[in-house]
Amino acid sequence: MTASGTARFSGSSKFSIRALLIVASSLVTMPGWAQETSGSSVQFDAALFAQQAATKGVVLMSADWSRHWGCARYENAQLQFLAFDKNGVQKTSADGQWDVMIKDGSILPSKKNYGNYAFIVEPGEYLLTGFRIKLGKSVSNVGNFYGDRKNMLENGKSKGGSFTVAAGEIVYIGHFSLDCAKAPMPWRFYPETREDFSKYLDEIRQEYPGIDKDKVQFRLFETTIMGYPFSLP
């Protein structure tokens, strides 16, 4: 898989989505919520981060919102959002009011539809507590698989995984897409070489001027079911 036709990224999974969430036998509808985010994270701005670097961190990530055809036993599948909560911040609802959220903003998905994201956040550990995958068995049979706090949190930890960022840090946590090996599920990819990582950061800097490329740390979203451990050689 490539981003913008340049960098190479890691391979696919061998895990079933059943290890991540309760999978319904038929397609279901995603429940609605009043407010998607809590407002605790903001899009990166160089001047703002310069003022807040002593108390805030920056997280970088990317996501593939493209529609994947022939995804496992489905005609097509599309990742639609990922959401994270800061560990230790109590949330009473199953979904909504997430601390960090990325989502597909397009009306019609393209063949290549990557989004790059940079957020100023409170330091700490962030748990994956929400996602949605749109699934199509046919033109008339379309629904969603989704994860929320109710089925993703267990003993204060996320079944999906987490990332950490400290004050003053700029951390890259991965590229997220779908894996279709056995069942559609979110999967964390990454650049496999320092050269590819450098190309990716150049792309990020075009969208978010002021990010210090030399200070970005390669610290992947930690997971046991959505990706493999990896360190840049």
> 4-13: per-residue pLDDT in tens?
333 444 544 4
Distances (CA, A) of 208 to 118, 123, 211, 213: 7, 20, 6, 11
Distances (CA, A) of 131 to 37, 81, 192: 13, 5, 25
Q: What is the pLDDT of residues 11-67, one digit of tens each?
A: 444 333 444 443 333 344 444 444 566 668 899 999 999 999 999 999 999 999 999
Q: Reduce the DSSP state of residue 21 to 3 states and report it.
A: coil
| pTM of the shown model | 0.84
Distances (CA, A) of 40 to 98, 101, 128, 191: 9, 11, 16, 28
CA distance 214 to 204: 13
Contact 89, 104 (CB under 8 A): no
Per-residue pLDDT at 14: 36
Q: If you write DSSP's letter for every residue of 151-205 in order, what string do you get?
A: HHEETTEESS-EEEE-TT-EEEEEEEEEE-SSS-EEEEE-BSSHHHHHHHHHHHH
Q: What is the average pLDDT value for the chain, to the nearest integer? A: 83
Which residue carries 């601390």 as its tokens?
99
Instruction: Indicate the pairing of strand 68-71 with strand 74-86.
Output: antiparallel
Q: Which residues have a Cβ under 8 Å from the Cβ of 34 and sit 6 or more positions away?
A: 96
Per-residue pLDDT at 108: 60
Would you state the structure tokens that stand for residue 146, as one six-digit string?
Answer: 């989704």
Which residue carries 């990454």 as its tokens?
190
